[in-house]
Every structure is written in structure tokens, then in C-alpha cells.
């Protein structure tokens, strides 16, 4: 027994200084949606800046599907060695209730690195979609509910959540076309294959400015500096229609604290990187504060968001298996 304990102690002593060198090789950061979408954009900007601080490359891997739950499930099962991370959004909280059989427990399968940003959403449509404004969209959708379709990134995605809120606000059920991420959905929207969707400003701001898509309303209390001509949903007739899509970085449960501390510090620095701040601003979002880019703030946020969305989802009664 004594020999076993001595051996274990020896291994721990050897392991600690080795971890002081972390990271010694490239890190993989999983995005649970397709390349070219809003979560992917946020991840690539942050990962590039964190790489500089950590002295190792962060390779972004897109594992899209099932509203982000496939990618999150992959990271939940990965080695907890600091070399596999996840950048997910609000879907980490909503999928906890939306999915009856989730392969992981959102609250217990991960260690927390920190929050990243809170991105507004905007209701957008194909460029030649008939309705001129939000009021017109609501009337049109109600009158044509069997022919109108809207895109989302699967159950649990932000686009699904916003679509659900829209359908419940206007008391009309529509057909959803699910994608592995809203990057490819946006391509189809621009091409006219789907009618409308709700997506983060990080994916839609440039296309709105270039008039490649139509914008009806933001999900914010006030108009956005990046899109000053787009009214809020409240202005357009849907008071209280507000939602922000927060993003955060996670690691598999059991990741050494030394690694988590280094990752949090690198995240905090990345969120102050002028290049990140400027690109975020041009896409209609701002980084969180240093205090929010911490494990404790993320844990508190995830808990409160699971509790906040549970009754909303339960009253909508839409689940996935
Ligand atoms: N954020 C998008 C959504 O939740 C998905 C994506 O990033 O592609 O709908």
C-alpha cells in the first residue's frame, strides 16, 4: 500500500512540472457548427489571438450537427489533457432541456475556461422576399404558413431558439430547414433556397450592408451601432423579443487546473487584443469583461441560463431525442 502511494506521489510530482510547460503541442478547439458560420467566426478570431499568447497553434475543428450537441459530445469524451477544447454558445444551456437523451451532462461533463462574447441576433430573409418590414413579415408568414420555410442550425442552436421565440410570438408554426450551421444556411438564403432565418450579427452584418440579404429586426433593446438602419424587434411590433447569444470556452472535465488557468489568462488577453476588439465591433458585438472571461463566471452563467430557459422550452413543449 505504502509503495503504491509512494509511486502515485512520485507520478504527481513528475506530472506537475511537466504541466508547467503546457502547451507543448497544438491544441484543437472544436466548433460545434459548420465552418463559415457565426460560432466559427468568433472561434477563429479568438483562437488565433490565444495561439500567439500560448505559443502553440490552436487548430479549429468544425463538428456540426444536431444543434451543436455532436461537437459538444465529442469534446465531453475527449482526453482531459488541455489539448481539446470547445467553443460553444447558448445552445449548451438550451440543449440541456431540449434534448431528452443527451450523450453528456452540460453541467458536469466540462471544466470551464470563460465567457467570450454576447452576440445579438437579427431576423434576415432572402433578398427578394416580399415583406418590406417586420410587420409585413408577420402578416405574410401568418397568411402563407404552409409555404414559408425558415432555416436553422438544428434543435438547440441559437437560430432554432430565436425561430421558436418568433413562432410563439406570432402564434404560428412554420417548417424549419435544419443545417449543420448557419454558415451554409446563409449561402442558401442568399441564393433564395430558403425564405428567412434568425442569425447572429457576426454572420449577417456584412451581407446586410451589401444588400445580399434583407434585415427585418434585431433582437436587442436598442439599435446596433453596426446596423443603425435596422429597427429592433420591439420597434417592429414585437415588444420583449430580445435574446443575446453568449459564447464560451470549455474543456473536458478533469483538465488540469494549470492548463485551465493558462487558457483563461490567454482568453482574457485575446479579448483585449485590438484586432479582436475591432473585428468584433465591425460584426456588431463586444468581448466580455476580464471578470467574465473566467471559469467562475462561466459556471454561474451556464447554471442561470439552464434555469432561465427550462420553463420557456417546457412551455413550448418541443423536444428532440
Ligand atoms: N450560431 C448558429 C446558430 O446557433 C450556428 C452556427 O454558428 O453556425 O444557429
Atom index in ligand 1 nearest the CA of residue 90 equals 4
Question: How does residue 98 score in pLDDT terms, banded at 50, 70 and 90?
Answer: very high
Compute how many other C-beta atoms are within 10 angstroms of the C-beta atom of residue 243.
18
SS3 label, residue 226: coil
Kindly list the domain boundaries of the chain, sorted by start residue. 24-119+246-316, 120-236
Strands (E), 169-283: 175-178, 196-200, 214-218, 244-252
The predicted pLDDT at position 9 comes to 44
The reply to whether 120-236 shares the fold of 24-119+246-316 is yes
- Global pTM reads 0.90
Atom index in ligand 1 nearest the CA of residue 41 equals 7
User: Which residues 6+ apart lie within 8 Å of 240 measured at CB?
Assistant: 234
Is the preceding peptide bond at 23 cis, omega within 30 degrees of 0? yes
Which among 46, 89, 118, 121 is the best mutation to test ligand 1's pocket, defined by most ligand atoms within 8 Å of the CB?
A: 89
- Distances in Å between the alpha carbon of 62 and those of 6, 71, 217, 284? 43, 8, 29, 23
Ligand 1 pocket, 158 CB below 6 A?
yes
**pLDDT digit string (tens) for 233-271?**
999 999 999 999 999 999 999 999 999 999 999 999 999
**pLDDT digit string (tens) for 115-159?**
999 999 999 999 999 999 999 999 999 999 999 999 999 998 999
CATH code for the part of the protein at 24-119+246-316: 3.40.190.150
Residue 148: phi and psi, rounded to 5, are: -80, 140
| DSSP letters for 151-192 | EESSTTSHHHHHHHHHHHHHT---EEEE-SSHHHHHHHHHTT
Ligand 1 pocket, 44 CB below 6 A?
no
**Lowest pLDDT segment from 33-37, 167-171, 311-315:** 311-315
Ligand 1 pocket, 218 CB below 6 A?
no
The predicted pLDDT at position 321 comes to 78
Compute how many other C-beta atoms are within 10 angstroms of the C-beta atom of residue 2.
6
Q: State the fold for domain 120-236.
A: D-Maltodextrin-Binding Protein; domain 2 (3.40.190)
Q: Report how far ligand 1's centroid is from the alpha carbon of 11 (Å).
A: 42
Ligand 1 pocket, 89 CB below 6 A?
yes
Ligand 1 pocket, 43 CB below 6 A?
no
The predicted pLDDT at position 10 comes to 45
Ligand 1 pocket, 246 CB below 6 A?
no
Amino acid at each position: 500500500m505504502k509503495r503504491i502511494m509512494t509511486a502515485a506521489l512520485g507520478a504527481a510530482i513528475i506530472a506537475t512540472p511537466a504541466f508547467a510547460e503546457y502547451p507543448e503541442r497544438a491544441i484543437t478547439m472544436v466548433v460545434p457548427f459548420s465552418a463559415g458560420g457565426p460560432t466559427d467566426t468568433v472561434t477563429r478570431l479568438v483562437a488565433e489571438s490565444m495561439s500567439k499568447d500560448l505559443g502553440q497553434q490552436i487548430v479549429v475543428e468544425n463538428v456540426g450537427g444536431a444543434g451543436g450537441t455532436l461537437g459538444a459530445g465529442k469534446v465531453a469524451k475527449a482526453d482531459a489533457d488541455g489539448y481539446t477544447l470547445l467553443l460553444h454558445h447558448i445552445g449548451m444551456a438550451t440543449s440541456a432541456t431540449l434534448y431528452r437523451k443527451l450523450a453528456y451532462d452540460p453541467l458536469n461533463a466540462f471544466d470551464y475556461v470563460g465567457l467570450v462574447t454576447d452576440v445579438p441576433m437579427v431576423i434576415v430573409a432572402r433578398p427578394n422576399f416580399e415583406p418590406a418590414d417586420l410587420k409585413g413579415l408577420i402578416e405574410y408568414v401568418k397568411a402563407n404558413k404552409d409555404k414559408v420555410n425558415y432555416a436553422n442550425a438544428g434543435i438547440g442552436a441559437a437560430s432554432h431558439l430565436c425561430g421558436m421565440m418568433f413562432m410563439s410570438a406570432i402564434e404560428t408554426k412554420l417548417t424549419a430547414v435544419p443545417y449543420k450551421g448557419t454558415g451554409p444556411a446563409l449561402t442558401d438564403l442568399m441564393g433564395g433556397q430558403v425564405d428567412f432565418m434568425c442569425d447572429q450579427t457576426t454572420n449577417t452584418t456584412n451581407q446586410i450592408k451589401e444588400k445580399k440579404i434583407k434585415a427585418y429586426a434585431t433582437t436587442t433593446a436598442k439599435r446596433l451601432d453596426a446596423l443603425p438602419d435596422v429597427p429592433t424587434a420591439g420597434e417592429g411590433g414585437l415588444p420583449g423579443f430580445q435574446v443575446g447569444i453568449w459564447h464560451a470556452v470549455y474543456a473536458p472535465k478533469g483538465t488540469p487546473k494549470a492548463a485551465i488557468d493558462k487558457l483563461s489568462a490567454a482568453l482574457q488577453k485575446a479579448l483585449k487584443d485590438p484586432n479582436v476588439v475591432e473585428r468584433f465591433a465591425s460584426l456588431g458585438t463586444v468581448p466580455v469583461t476580464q471578470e467574465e472571461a473566467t471559469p467562475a463566471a462561466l459556471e454561474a452563467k451556464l447554471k442561470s441560463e439552464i434555469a432561465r430557459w427550462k420553463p420557456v422550452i417546457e412551455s413550448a413543449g418541443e423536444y428532440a431525442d
